[in-house]
């Protein structure tokens, strides 16, 4: 039986020096947060010595779990000679070569320290390139916390507006009206309505920002005709298409764009490409990436960053990406299938409404049988979100860590047995949840 004394004590200390005792809202929990001590393979031990199987991997970033030998070697050898310098390093070239080779639409890249900054720079680049200010994004999709990117991301139904014209709703209080006015919100996967909205704004649009499988909008894959429409309409109006692969790069050897046959102008990356270290990247064709080029005078978009392309992230990123072989992807895919199949049976067995969305190693559990296609259907699914949060808590108590919204990510150190361990955690947790 688990005790949480040390986590509770640490939280008391934290409350004095951090608002709500917290510095990262995504890991906040009541009555207190849990504090990690160490990770091994696909397991994480907290400060009270409780061991759990980690089925989310720092919100999908740790595709190789903890203690991957090549990543450890890369980190050790780099730290010995310095964590970062006010100079470039060869490692940034190598990581770029690797990513360009894999991502069909990417000829050149630049690095940041987070996915948020990658999206921010892609938006700035699109505005600079087109000379326009409006950005279209899908309702409910999360793209980090840059003002324009976080609009209409987590607001309740009362603010949504008509589906024919979803409102541009602030996420952070105080978001300037000017920012809201520049965001065009489209419904995910609704080809007819989204196209109509985009056409009405066409000549003012700098870019459409899209994730092929937006987590917070349900982790439902984009319909091929939806993506095709976005590409067609952006081309017609001279707007750019930004594909946010911060989470979805892990869907295949050629990223989400390979899997979904997407042909974006800009791609944003993060998470797994840093091997567990902070990272973000913006990539695209050389022609659009030239807005960042400082070699011919002041660039259209100046982009620096004290820790951008720091060699710790680059070296560990190289190791992590190189370890993502076709065989590794096949393994991750199989783990995902085993989970999906198993958890479906468990929902049935326990007579609990539920389903799994996502692809391959990226999954999300929902506690509803209603069809999910976009943000509104996901959000509106009865008490779905609260029930999922209760399930996540029950799983945590049973030794399985998933995100509070049901997001899960499998990692290369996992074996079939680990998926079965996760499933037996679900078996016990579903019993608890079904009883309420």
By the 8 A CB rule, do 221 and 259 touch? no
Q: How far apart are CA 436 and CA 434, in angstroms?
A: 5
Name the DSSP letter for residue 18.
Answer: S
The least CB distance from residue 188 to ligand PMP, in Å, is: 13
Beta carbon nearer to ligand PMP, 338 or 363:
363
Select the residue interacting with ligand PMP from 246, 321, 356, 359 (CB under 6 A). 246
Segment near ligand PMP (CB under 6 A); pick from 100-108, 243-251, 381-389, 405-413: 243-251
Q: Which residue has the tokens 């590794």?
A: 328
Q: Is 244 in the site for ligand PMP (CB under 6 A)?
A: yes
> Per-residue string for binding with ligand PMP, 196-225, x by CB under 6 A?
---------------x---x----------
Q: Is 237 in the site for ligand PMP (CB under 6 A)?
A: no
Beta carbon nearer to ligand PMP, 244 or 340:
244
Q: Is 119 in the site for ligand PMP (CB under 6 A)?
A: yes
Q: What is the DSSP string of 267-312?
A: EEEEGGGGTTS--EEEEE-HHHHGGG--BTBS-SS----TTTT-HH
Beta carbon nearer to ligand PMP, 39 or 144:
144
Beta carbon nearer to ligand PMP, 280 or 360:
280
Q: Which residue has the tokens 């391959």?
A: 360
Q: Which residue has the tokens 């929990």?
A: 29
Q: Count residues binding ligand PMP (CB under 6 A).
A: 15
Q: Is 264 in the site for ligand PMP (CB under 6 A)?
A: no
Beta carbon nearer to ligand PMP, 53 or 282:
282
Q: Is 247 in the site for ligand PMP (CB under 6 A)?
A: yes
Q: For every residue of 200-264, which 3-state class applies, written as one string? A: HHHHHEEEEEECCCCCCCCCCCCCHHHHHHHHHHHHHHCCEEEEECCCHHHHCCCHHHHHHCCCC
Q: How far apart are CA 153 and CA 175, in angstroms?
A: 13
Token digits for 62? 């740790």
Q: Show contacts with ligand PMP in window 16-75 (CB under 6 A).
A: 59
Beta carbon nearer to ligand PMP, 242 or 391:
242
Q: Which residues contact 3 (CB under 8 A, 6 or more apart)?
A: 48, 50
The contact set with ligand PMP (CB under 6 A) reads 59, 114-116, 119, 142-144, 211, 215, 244, 246-247, 270, 280
């Amino acid at each position: 039986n688990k005790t949480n004394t040390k986590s509770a004590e640490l939280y008391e200390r934290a409350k004095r020096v951090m608002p709500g005792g917290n510095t990262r809202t995504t890991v906040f929990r009541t009555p207190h947060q849990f504090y990690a001590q160490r990770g091994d393979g696909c397991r994480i031990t907290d400060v009270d010595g409780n061991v759990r199987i980690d089925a989310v991997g720092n919100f999908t970033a740790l595709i190789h779990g903890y203690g991957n030998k090549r990543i450890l070697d890369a980190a050790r050898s780099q730290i010995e000679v310095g964590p970062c310098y006010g100079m470039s390093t060869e490692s940034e070239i190598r990581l770029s070569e690797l990513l360009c080779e894999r991502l069909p639409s990417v000829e050149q890249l630049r690095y940041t320290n987070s996915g948020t900054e990658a999206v921010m720079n892609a938006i700035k680049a699109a505005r600079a390139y087109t000379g326009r200010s409006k950005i279209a994004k899908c309702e409910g999709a999360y793209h980090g916390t840059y003002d324009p990117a976080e609009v209409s991301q987590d607001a309740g139904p009362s603010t949504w507006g008509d589906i024919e014209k979803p409102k541009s709703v602030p996420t952070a209080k105080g978001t300037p009206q000017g920012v809201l006015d520049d965001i065009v919100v489209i419904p995910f996967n609704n080809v007819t309505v989204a196209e109509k909205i985009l056409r009405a704004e066409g000549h003012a649009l700098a870019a459409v920002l899209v994730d092929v499988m937006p987590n917070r909008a349900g982790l439902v894959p984009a319909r091929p005709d939806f993506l095709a429409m976005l590409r067609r309409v952006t081309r017609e109006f001279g707007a750019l298409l930004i594909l946010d692969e911060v989470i979805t790069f892990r869907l295949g050897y050629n990223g989400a764009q390979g899997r979904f046959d997407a042909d974006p102008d800009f791609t944003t990356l993060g998470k797994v490409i840093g091997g567990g270290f902070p990272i973000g990247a913006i990539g695209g064709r050389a022609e659009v990436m030239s807005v960042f080029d400082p070699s011919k005078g002041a660039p259209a978009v100046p982009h620096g960053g004290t820790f951008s392309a720091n060699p710790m992230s680059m070296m560990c990123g190289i190791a992590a990406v190189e370890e993502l072989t076709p065989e590794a992807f096949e393994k991750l895919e199989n783990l995902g299938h085993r989970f999906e199949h198993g958890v479906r049976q468990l929902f049935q067995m326990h007579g609990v409404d539920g389903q799994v969305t996502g692809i391959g190693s990226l999954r999300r559990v929902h506690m509803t049988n209603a069809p999910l296609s976009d943000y509104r259907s996901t959000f509106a699914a009865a008490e779905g979100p609260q029930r999922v949060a209760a399930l996540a808590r029950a799983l945590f108590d049973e030794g399985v860590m998933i995100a509070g919204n049901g997001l899960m990510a499998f990692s290369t150190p996992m074996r079939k047995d680990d998926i079965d361990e996760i499933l037996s955690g679900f078996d016990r947790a579903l019993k608890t949840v079904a009883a309420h």
